Amino acid sequence: MRIGIIGLGVVGSSVAQILQTNQDVIAARAGEEIIPVIGAVRNLHKSRADVTFRLVDDVNVVLNDPTIDTIVELMGGIDEAYVVAQKTLRAGKNLVTANKAMLAYYRYELQEIAGKIPIGFEASVAGGIPIIKALRDGLGANHILEICGILNGTCNFILTNMFLHNMPYATALAKAQELGYAEADPSFDVGGFDAAHKLLILASIAYGIDAKPDSILIEGITDISEDEIAFAREFGYSLKLLAIARKVGNEVELRVHPAFVPLSEMISRVDGVMNGISVVGDCVGETMYYGAGAGGKATASAVISDLIEIARCKSTPMLGFKKSLESGLVLREKDSIRSRYYLRLDVADEAGVLAQVAQILSSENISIRSLLQPSSQKGAKILLSTHLCNEKHIKSAMDKLATLQFVRHAPVMIRIKDSQ
């Protein structure tokens, strides 16, 4: 198998290096040698110790090389990469990509163009954890009831440090940036968008559903404060950014948001930059997958597993099956999502405040499950959790609460993960 690699950053150079150092096991498993013969880079003058093959700075030279049968796309970007992917498939070459953003938008288009040409994308979700193969192959007998993933290492690192080491959000973010776990502009990670892209890919495999990032519920971690950490400790939760796909009747719920997770669940123990994904199938029950969600070598491990799979000539459809083959599943409206909720209200220290809050919640059919009024010098606070209710009702209650005079700013809401 002769491959061309487009993009030789951290992941691309790890791929090149591992293909060399581990060629014994790779060839044994693939049944043939996997040889990188050409690579495309932006800057030809940069020194690259691990690269022993030919480099060019024109992507089309790689795409048009008749001696290679497989393109590994690691250039990043969305539309530019999509053009490369289309050209690859139209030239009849196999495609391996780690590009989750491109797939979040164009995965069905690519499956359509590919026809019987294999596309590997194990590296696009959760780095080295073979979650795509697990969902598509290992759990193939199951209707998937729920996927619940910690898919963004940056957010998990920040939340873990807030929880375990009492760091304020800003300090934890600064530490993540210092260690290279967060970008200078972290908004794509901390806003939940990266996790959402990965969730959409997993949901396609589990449900065959074609949603785009713009149509699903996405909330990030930027509003989390020490109050939430205190609430979590008090009531036996950890606090995680969860990406959830759940089948509810004929609808699929897709959402990314911070959530309190009971410490009894395995996924609550996934700390630091690690990723973890719980998958519940109707036959298998709950299974869980854990590992490094990022990093050059872990991601390269996934890229090469795709190359091995293609070398073995497997012809699995890219997304496991075609669109919506499971009895016409549709995306659930955001408003219909049901959850338990946590609310934080910063209020003036007056009599009758709690009664008014309770009255508003009750008017939306929301009942309180637990409540905490921590004493503070800065003013009064109400931290509460609700029983199950609708997204629509909690949003409406929050709007009403925000208008109350004694409420100092808009309430903070976090969902509480319930067990299936």
Active site residues: 198
Interface segment toward its own copies; rule CB under 8 A; list 1-9, 123-131, 232-240, 353-361: 123-131
Cβ closer to its own copies: 3 or 300?
300
Q: What residues between 307 and 366 interact with its own copies by CB under 8 A?
A: 308-309, 312-317, 320-322, 325-327
- 137 belongs to the binding site for its own copies (CB under 8 A): yes
Return the closest-CA partner of residue 107 out of 226, 24, 213: 213
> Cβ 328 to its own copies, closest distance in Å?
10
Count of other CB atoms within 10 angstroms of residue 184 = 5
For β-strands 2-6 and 35-40, DSSP reports them as parallel
CA-to-CA distance for 105 and 186, rounded, in angstroms?
21
Stretch that binds its own copies, among 72-80, 161-169, 188-196, 297-305 (CB under 8 A): 297-305
Instruction: List C-alpha distances in Å: 175 to 160, 161, 296.
Output: 12, 9, 20
Contact flag: residue 297 with its own copies (CB under 8 A): yes
> Burial, 56: exposed, middle or buried (Cβ in 10 Å; 0-12, 13-18, 19+)?
middle
Coil, strand, or helix at residue 382?
Answer: strand
279, 147 in Cβ contact below 8 A?
A: yes
User: If binding is defined by CB under 8 A, does position 302 make contact with its own copies?
Assistant: yes
Interface pick for its own copies out of 287, 356, 370, 396 (rule CB under 8 A): 287
396 binding its own copies? (CB under 8 A): no
Residue 286 CB, shortest distance to its own copies, in Å, is: 6
**CA distance readout (Å), 374 to 226, 358, 379, 396:** 12, 17, 10, 25
Q: Could you say which residues in the range 157-216 bind its own copies, by CB under 8 A? A: 208
Q: How far is the CB of 1 from its own copies (least distance, A)?
A: 13
Dist CA 89 CA 233 (whole Å): 51
Q: What is the CA radius of gyration of the chain?
A: 23
Beta carbon nearer to its own copies, 70 or 339: 70
Using the minimum distance from each CB to its own copies, give the nearer residue, 131 or 199.
131
Alpha helices, H only, 150-265: 153-165, 169-178, 187-190, 193-207, 226-235
Count other C-beta atoms under 10 Å from residue 236's C-beta: 12
Say which residue the tokens 């030919």 belong to.
Answer: 54
Q: Which is nearer to its own copies, 85 or 329 (CB)?
A: 329
Among residues 234, 198, 235, the alpha carbon closest in space to that of 213 is found at: 198
Cβ proximity to its own copies: between 59 and 252 the closer is 252
Segment lying near its own copies (by CB under 8 A), choices 48-56, 76-84, 158-166, 286-294: 286-294
Minimal distance, residue 402 CB to its own copies, in Å = 40
**Total residues interacting with its own copies, rule: CB under 8 A:** 64
- Binding part of the chain for its own copies, among 194-202, 292-300, 338-346, 357-365 by CB under 8 A, reads 292-300
Q: Which is nearer to its own copies, 9 or 285 (CB)?
A: 285
Among 236, 285, 374, 379, binds its own copies (CB under 8 A): 285
Of 298, 310, 384, 416, the residue at the interface with its own copies (CB under 8 A) is 298
Secondary structure element (H or E) that encloses residue 95, with its range: strand 94-97
DSSP state of 121: -
Binds its own copies (CB under 8 A): choice among 138, 168, 213, 262: 138
Residues 3-32 that bind its own copies (CB under 8 A): 14, 18, 22, 24-26, 28-31
- Among 2, 48, 87, 143, which residue interacts with its own copies (rule: CB under 8 A)? 143
CB crowding 117-135: b at 16 or more within 10 Å, else e? bbbbbbbbbbbbbbbbbbb
The window from 53-61, 102-110, 263-271, 335-343 that contacts its own copies (CB under 8 A) reads: 263-271
Compute the least distance from the CB of residue 411 to its own copies, in Å. Answer: 34
Euclidean distance between CA atoms 245 and 131, whole angstroms:
14
Measured distance CA(365)–CA(360) in Å, rounded: 9
Instruction: Write down the least CB distance from residue 138 to its own copies, Å.
Output: 2
Does residue 42 touch its own copies according to CB under 8 A?
no
Give the span between the Cα atoms of 95 and 306, in whole angstroms. 9
Tokens coding 237 = 């939760």
* Least spacing, CB of residue 125 vs its own copies, in Å: 12
Name the site residues for its own copies (rule: CB under 8 A): 14, 18, 22, 24-26, 28-31, 122, 127-130, 133-134, 136-143, 208, 266, 269-270, 281-292, 295, 297-298, 300-305, 308-309, 312-317, 320-322, 325-327
